[in-house]
Amino acid sequence: PPPAAMAARAAGAAVGETVACLAAHDTTGVLRRDNIARRAVGANDVAIDIKYCGICHSDLHSVRGEWDQTAYYPMVPGHEITGIVAAVGSAVDKWRVGDRVGVGVFVDSCRECEQCKAGLEQYCDGPAASDGLHLTYNKLLTAAPAIINTPSGVREGELLHGGYSSAIVVDQGYIVKIPDALPLDKAAPLLCAGITTYSPLVHWGAKAGGASVSVGVVGLGGLGHCAVKFSHAMGNAVHVISTSPWKAAAAAAMGAKFINSKDPSSMAAAAGSLDLIINTVSADHDVAPYLKLLKISGTMVLVGLPPNPLAIRPFDVVGRRVALAGSTIGSIAETQEMLDYAAEGERVGVCVPDVRVIPAKDANHALATLSRNANAARRFVIDVGGTMGDTEAVEEDDAIDPSSWRVLARVLPASANKHTHTSTTTTTTTTTTIAV
């Protein structure tokens, strides 16, 4: 729909269905059962019954307020959403009730800027009046009228909430079709982790180059294992680069060689051997040693988002004409292309993520496992359709010591900032690591 349609939707926003969700109410990031009101289905909207939602590392950073952005609470995370169309607006012509669909990292954009017109809406920098790129959650739409969005009252504008919820309403142009060959649980991580790695592999020539391209993947968590799977499907020579030697077996099972970044001899043996590196790590780490693994004119692409600045010397890049680049998710069209690619023929068995489906009550355990880097080459996926409506309380994991990470976000309301850098309290913790 044109920008006018988006404006009309905002102007007519109204409270719709109240749905069950998991929400973080402060910077401890602890998820609890709650309810939110979705907007009513507008003319161009599609209502989706959510069946599955992947747990992304960015969900962990967001609920804890670790990024330098505004963090709105209560926060319902989740942007790896698959489900079934439950209702469509009067002007919807792309979708029908019963369709298998997905929603990724954003649910709208300005549709007017150069990037949107070029089909690169993930880089939307549209005018403030449009609210620019509408992230799936933790996005306050100031252009929308005040609506009741939580049981606690009225917000100034529509606060968007994500897929840790039983239903969502999205504009028809920001939804993708899940091919029949892809199970909904396994397709969910492709909506973020999949497209985040597929897009740079395509852009920097790995897909076109096939066997002639040597690719390194830093990190073998949910994001990294998607990069390995797609690179392997493209015919590249794939190498996993990790500080965790125990992940070597998982790398080999996916057809990748292993480089132990803690072992100087392993790093030295791989020096100057890679055309492209996809760095998927979202924790703070030194990226300079990985640049030495690149060939002359090679590129390392950052797709993970560590909270703090990187330390790079000019000498790290100038002497060998290597490049340090970044990439964020992909457009709606490219996401559909990626899903269709993953669903084609024998690639179904190669590209689909390895997932661990968990009930909603275990979501805090999954986030804690991510924070400890204890998940091996798979993605946690919440069984939303089967368990979000349960009455069983969400189990807590770790009595969290706020001094273990920095809150960089501007927290709203301010009372939701439970963080302190000076805490000296000794806390007894209970830790449950989900088997991976």
| pLDDT at 10 exceeding the cut of 90 | no
Of the chain, the percentage scoring pLDDT greater than 70 comes to: 87
Claim: this prediction has a pTM higher than 0.85? yes
Give the model's pLDDT for residue 129.
64
CB atoms within 10 A of CB 348: 15
Q: Which residues pair with 294 in a beta bridge?
A: 274
From 79, 94, 7, 3, select the one nearest 42 (Cα to Cα).
7
pLDDT in tens, 245-292: 989 999 999 999 999 999 999 999 999 999 999 999 988 899 999 999
Cα separation, 186 vs 36, in Å, equals 26
pLDDT in tens, 322-373: 999 999 999 999 999 999 999 998 888 889 999 999 999 999 999 998 888 7
From 216, 207, 324, select the one nearest 276 (Cα to Cα).
216
Give the model's pLDDT for residue 11.
38
Q: What is the DSSP string of 142-184?
A: TTSPPEEEETTEEESSEEE--SSBSEEEEEGGG-EE--TTS-H
| pLDDT at 421 exceeding the cut of 70 | no
Domains in the chain with CATH codes:
3-189+333-342+347-416 (3.90.180.10), 193-328 (3.40.50.720)
Give the model's pLDDT for residue 403.
73
Q: What is the DSSP string of 25-74?
A: -STT--EEEEEEEEEPP-TTEEEEEEEEEE--HHHHHHHTT-SSSEEESS
pLDDT in tens, 305-332: 888 888 889 988 999 999 999 999 999 9
pLDDT in tens, 102-115: 999 999 998 989 99
**CA 343 centroid distance within chain:** 20
Give the model's pLDDT for residue 174.
97
